[in-house]
Each structure stands twice: as structure tokens, then as C-alpha cells.
Homo-oligomer: A and B are copies of this chain.
Amino acid sequence: MLSKNKIKQLRSLHLKKFRRSEGLFVAEGQKLVFDLLDSEMKVREVFCTPELIATVEGKGFNPKNIHTSQPADLKKISQLKSSPDIVATVRIPEHSLSWEEIAGDLCLALDGVQDPGNLGTIIRLADWFGIKNILCSEDTVDLYNPKTIQATMGAIARIRLHYGNLPNYLQWANEMEIPVYGTFLEGEAIYSASLSPNGIIVMGNEGKGISDDVEPFIQHKIHIPNFPADRMTSESLNVAMATSITCSEFRRRMMPNKS
């Protein structure tokens, strides 16, 4: 049985300001919590139904920090529609930004992505394509938003997000001669553009695309052509789909056998 105060504290983590002041976020559901317990992330407390306790202990988690909880209590602390049988509080990690690492590999930069599901999908995609770092503008949706955390499907434990002043980040990249790419309607078709094995790929906001503050730092404007290529369309691809296609094309160029 959880105390009223405990439930209140856990519910406060639904809000970004309390997540930041406590340095904690909430993860829900077996897949995600077990992935986090297996990762280097620091799980602080686990709240679960009695059936799951042995599994959590089996992962070497300190029994002192496991709280047997009734489904009704778990429902109260859940941030999602479906009620989980396990909830954990996890320490928000402090990632240091290594420009050396960024210079030598592919990296994503998000300029005001707003939808938590899109951010989660992009993190999962970065994990698939071996992209370890994502630079985020300050107005990009919070990574520890419950919908984002759930959409990452555990990739959150492997990808490092760095929130900060995106124009400053990119100016630095320019000075270090790291190639910076961005998707624009007037960009060169990605299938025929020259793409480097390292560099930063900037993806814009769902409605407004890449902002005026960021555009000056983009040296390579690219574009995903629709098909047939000369078909007029007022439509656009969703940012997560555009990121999928862009990352796939960058990585394809590095494959030993390609058609």
C-alpha cells in the first residue's frame, strides 16, 4: 500500500518542473522498466505487483527499494491510459557533450520538434541506425515526457540527448568543419546528393520546419523527393518518417554492398 504522500510525489513527476527539481523521471510497463534495470541508467525505486518482485530482484535491484503495490495505486501514479503492473522512478542522467565524438560520427539535431511521440520514434530510430547523440533546441519537447519515454521502447538508455542553444551548437560545428545537413523543400534530392559518413542532420518543427535562426548554419540543403518526382504536392512527410528515410539513406551509403 502506497502512502498518500508517496502517490502525490510520484504524480508530481508528471510535470516537467518537478522532474527537473527532483532529477527523476517515471518509466512504466515491464518492457521499459526491465530494459532500464538492465542498462546503465540509475533506477531509484520500483513499484510493482507482487508477481513481478522476483523478476526485479533477479536483476540485482536492491529489494529495499522495491515497493509492492496494488493495481489501484499503480493506476493512480500512471501517466498513461493503460494501467501498468510496474512503475519505476529513474534518475535523469547528466550527459556530457563530446564534440570529438560528434565530429567523427553521424548525429541528429532537432529544431523544435513538438510531438512527444515523434521524439520517441526518432530516438528509437537513432538507436537502430547507431546514432548516439541528438542535439535538441531548447524548445524541443521534453525527453522525459511520459509519452516520449514510452515511445522510445527502451532506446532512451542508449541515446544521449543534449538540450541547448541550437544555433550556438551549429556555429561550433561550422567552425570545426563538421558538415551540417538539413531538409528543405528547395534542397537537393537526397538520393543523388553527396552525403558524408559523419555530420549533423537537422530536422525541423512539425509545422514550421527549420527556423530562421538555424538555417544560416546549414551548408547542405537536402530534400526527399516524392514520386513521381515531378508530381506537385502541397503535402509533406511527418518529421519521424522524414528522419527515417534520411538516416536510412546516410547509412546505406556506408554499407559495403549496395545497389
Q: Is A259 an interface residue (CB 8 A)?
A: yes
A233 to B225, CA, bound (A): 31
Q: Is A182 an interface residue (CB 8 A)?
A: no
> A248's closest neighbor in chain B, by CB?
B245
| Residues 133-168 of A at the B interface (beta carbon under 8 Å) | 153-155
A130 touches B241 (CB 8 A): no
Interface band, chain A: 35 or more
**A130-B227, A238-B124, A240-B241 known; A189-B233 Cβ under 8 A:** no
Of the listed stretches A21-29, A70-78, A83-91, A190-198, chain B binds A190-198
Q: Is A228 an interface residue (CB 8 A)?
A: yes
A128 touches B227 (CB 8 A): yes
B241 touches A189 (CB 8 A): no
**A121-B238, A244-B245, A245-B248 known; A255-B128 Cβ under 8 A:** no
Q: Hey, what's the 0/1 contact readout for A220-236 against B, CB within 8 Å counting as 1?
A: 00001111110101010
B154, B155, B191, B248: the one within 8 Å of A259 (CB): B191
Q: Is A253 an interface residue (CB 8 A)?
A: yes
B130, B227, B233: the one within 8 Å of A228 (CB): B130
A127 to B193, CA, bound (A): 23
Q: Is A101 an interface residue (CB 8 A)?
A: no
B189, B231, B237, B238: the one within 8 Å of A257 (CB): B189
B130 touches A252 (CB 8 A): no
**In the A-B complex, the 4 residue pairs with the closest CB atoms:** A130-B227, A192-B257, A244-B244, A241-B244
- Where the two chains meet, the residues of A that have a C-beta atom closer than 8 Å to any C-beta of B are 117, 121, 124-125, 127-130, 153-155, 189, 191-195, 224-229, 231, 233, 235, 237-238, 240-241, 244-245, 248-249, 251-255, 257-259
